[in-house]
Each structure stands twice: as C-alpha cells, then as structure tokens.
Amino acid sequence: VSQPNLALYSLVGIPLIQPGDNLAQLILDSLRAADLPLAEGDVLVITSKIVSKAEGRRLDLRTITPSPRAVEIAQKTDKDPRLIEVALGEAAGISRMNKGVFITRHKLGFVSANAGIDHSNVGPDGEEWVLLLPVDPDGTAVKIRAELQRATGVAPGIVITDTHGRPHRLGNIGVAVGAAGIPALLDLRGRPDLFGRKLQYTDIGLADEIAAAADLLSGQANEGLPVTLVRGLHLSPADGHASDLIRPANIDLYG
C-alpha cells in the first residue's frame, strides 16, 4: 500500500493550558507518549488559543470600563462595549464595521474580526473571559522551535494559528499568526514549469496553507486537539515568519 506524501497527526494528551505552562515541554511529552519522535522537516502547528492561555492573555470583561468611543462603536455594531474597548486596545485601526461586524487591523498587522479576541468562555463564578492574541506569536514560534531543538536535536518548523473570516468568501479558515523555521511566504517565481519555462506564479502563502490544513483536524475538535504535527513537506529551513504574510497597506486595494 502507498505511503502518504503528507501526514498530519493530532497530538493527544495536551492538557487544558494554564498561565505559565511550558508548551514545548507538553508537546515533547505528547510526542514521546505517541512514539512520534521529531524528524527533520516536521512542522508543528499550534493554535494561538493555547499560546494565549500559556501567556495569561485572559481578561475578565467585568473588570473593563468602556470609553465613550467604545460605547459609540458598540451601538453601531450591536456588540458588547467592553469587548469593543478591549479590541480597540489591541487594534492599530478599524477596517470595517456594521451591525454585528467589527473588523480591525490588529497591532500585529492581521485584519480580522474583533482584533482576534476570542469571546466564548463564561466561568463558573460568573467571570466573562475573553482571550487576546499572543503578544508576539512570531517570537513565541522562534522560542518554541529553539526549545524543541535543544531537547531533541531537531528544529521543526512552527506555525501558530488563528481562524479568520474573509472578504468575498464565507466560512472561517485557519491562518498563520506566528511562524518560525519555514518559508512562510514561498517564492516560486523563476522556477521552471513542466516544460522548462519559467513559472509566472506569484508567491504561495505557505504558512497559511499549513494552518488551514491543520485546522481540518484541530478546528472541529472542540479545542481538545490544539497541536498538529505535519510531516512530509520537504521545505528548506528558512527564516520566515507570519508577519511576512501581511499585505502592506500600499498594495492592499481592500484597505
């Protein structure tokens, strides 16, 4: 029987993450328990949600007092003014708003709803938790990669993911908000095509494609499978980051 060209493994046994948890160590423990030693070329895909939790990026909305501007935007968007207040603190600017919609450019550069804030948890004592994006997901990807290399001798590619809605298309998909050790934006221009002619391709959003692939496993798992091992990509190691995928405002015709 044929072997797959690309294999994705959901890492099992990653516990619910608490502030201060060492994600690299938890990943190593899971790989060891699954008898899946890291191999050259492996890419580990980690949801931003557990990175944020490990960083303690949780806020209780009950502690937030919305500014007059947040109250005004909340009225226009039918949203919680405290959520808007937190989102404004995370945002570099507002991209679009409408009833039920508040799309911002995050300080990290990503254009997405509510500055990437996850607003799904209510605690047992009435807490109203929201989770902000990691502080520096590209930097965290570099650190996790280095920790895994120290422990195993193998430096995997790292992709930290979120899910975003999109202009023109329905449905959220996995995207890269952090990356290390891979060509996040892969330049195929100049490579020969089947007939030896130069391809006229533009770049490939490789880290986003990896994020979307992993979300096929992690996105439907109700947060229970936040880390995915992707094996078989045969990428050259590269110093690429998710920030490479942010379209500069001067070439974004939908700014």
Report 25-84 residues binding a second copy (CB under 8 A).
34-36
Residue in 89, 90, 223, 238 binding a second copy, rule: CB under 8 A: 223
Q: Say how far apart CA 182 and CA 172 lie, in whole Å.
A: 24
Number of residues that bind a second copy (CB under 8 A): 75
Q: Say how far apart CA 103 and CA 114 lie, in whole Å.
A: 6
When asked if residue 227 is in the footprint of a second copy (CB under 8 A), the reply is no
User: Could you please report the per-residue DSSP string of 48-92?
Assistant: HHHHHHHTT-EEEGGG----HHHHHHHHHHT--HHHHHHHHHHEE
Q: Say how far apart CA 86 and CA 88 lie, in whole Å.
A: 5
Residue in 62, 76, 150, 247 binding a second copy, rule: CB under 8 A: 247
When asked if residue 18 is in the footprint of a second copy (CB under 8 A), the reply is no
Q: Of the listed pieces 17-25, 69-77, 138-146, 201-209, which binds a second copy according to CB under 8 A?
A: 201-209
Do residues 177 and 189 lie in contact, with contact meaning Cβ atoms separated by under 8 Å? no
Residue in 191, 227, 237, 238 binding a second copy, rule: CB under 8 A: 191
When asked if residue 16 is in the footprint of a second copy (CB under 8 A), the reply is yes
Residue in 20, 68, 126, 167 binding a second copy, rule: CB under 8 A: 167
Q: Is 124 left (phi over 0), alpha (psi -120 to 50) or beta?
A: alpha
Q: Which of residues 117-146 bind a second copy (CB under 8 A)?
A: 119-122
Shortest Å distance, C-beta 177 to a second copy: 11
Residue in 26, 217, 227, 241 binding a second copy, rule: CB under 8 A: 217
Type of residue at 241:
H
